[in-house]
Chain A
Amino acid sequence: MKRGWLGCSLLLAWLALLAVPAWAELTLRDDRGVTLHFDRPPQRIVSLLPSLTEAVCALDACSRLVGVDRYSDWPARVLKLPRLGGLDDVQIERTLALKPDLVLMSSSERVSERLQALGLKVMVLDSQTHADVQRTLVLLARMLGEPAKGELLWVAIQQQIGSAAARVPARLRGRKVYYEVDPTPFAASEDSFIGQTLKRLGMGNAVPAAMGSFPALNPEYVVRAQPDIIMSGRAELATMAARPGWSGLRALRQHQTCGFDTAASYLLVRPGPRLGEAAMLLADCLAALPPLR
């Protein structure tokens, strides 16, 4: 059933590719609702968000990147590119000197305004959910002149997520996961892309969608919610039991925890083309959980 669905999508995509005429002028709307006009696909791209860097490279346009932000680190070749600072403290001068014909970033009003005022073309893309990621990939693919690749990439990601789901042991289906993004604590709810991936893996979430995508929780809430599985950075996990009241969490006592190292944590919080890989990471961890006594 799944194979059939995959085959259909591939066929459709290939047909779509055939149907597209030679590259013509393109008009796209970014997430601000701003219309951007392209005479031809951009050749010099600056990306100020790691997930957007990854998306461009996943769409085989890595060679077109001329500058990235300081947090972009995948694939390894982008480490050699000029690093232009974070999102809010971008080095305007340096960005300008690179003469990009497109700047990709997520919302930061002052930066986008300033760059636009200086004559640069800015595209703002914000991804919070899986649907956002799909839309972004498709948009970027169209912009890069390879419209089919976006859907293809998304299909591949879905396939990866599917295989990841298959790896999750049946006994864990429906168990509530608490994914902690930050020790404040900030958690990933059902609504976030992390939460959605977990849902695809057949897991439940201790934090409902009503609380927002990445809500800041009252630690009390987590204690009351008694999640079945806790996922967090390795370092935070080590000291989690010391938090007031958290030693009572049965997930901690029964070692139903997933601790991710720094590289894995970064991977998991990026709503980009490596969603599938992220799903695999999660599934591998879940599969390795000790059975409950």
Chain B
Amino acid sequence: MTLRVDGVSARLGGREVLSDVHCTLAPGWTAVVGPNGAGKSTLLRVLAGLLPASAGAVQLEGWPLLQWPARERARRIAWLAQQADVSGDLTVRETVQLGRLPQLGLLAAPGAADAAAVHAAMQITECGPWQHRRLHELSGGERQRVLLARALATEAPVLLLDEPTTHLDAPHQVALARLFRRLAASHTVVTVLHDLPLALHADRLLLLVDGRKRAEGAFDDDTLHAALTAAFGGAIRIVWQRGRPMALPDLGLDP
């Protein structure tokens, strides 16, 4: 499932946060990176249909995104928020089950397929052991995994994940990166990532600076690497190790 972004601009609170962004998000794992305030989350919101573009259009499978009925859109695109804005007393299982809303609607009772999807999502994110605990009892990282499970439970072919690894420890970050790689085979995974080293494990990177697309390319593209280094003001250095590019923080300490 492909998302095409044609000259999209977006405004938030009167300010233009995205300007004239063109890109195509095809099946695979695309990491959206850039300095703070570059408009990465906003781009994801526009892609999810949560924020209308002030100019340009987003097309899903050839149709304008906002012309899709909301439920059809929700079946194809799953979005994960950057900040968990959770209230109430839902258990982990009930939360993940909400991911089946696009399929079930408000009234239908969950069936075997739904139970399977929920179970799979919880297994992948390793939430199974606490499925009956309440969301607000969990730590930030655990909660993040549950919300990711919720997004996975929708079984949507497009996953838009805004900073899915922020609160996670290294093992879990790695586990997620592996998951994204696996999913990339059949899904369109778009993640906003602050963590450049992690982002370089994606298939493609999209670099946004000040609301504009600065660069785009495969993870091993040199032009992309140059643009990244420039965009981050020399704070990172990209080196090659074991045949893969790695981003290292550069404190300017030279022997």
- The answer to whether any beta carbons of A and B sit under 8 Å apart in the complex is no
Q: Which residues of A contact B (CB under 8 A)?
A: none
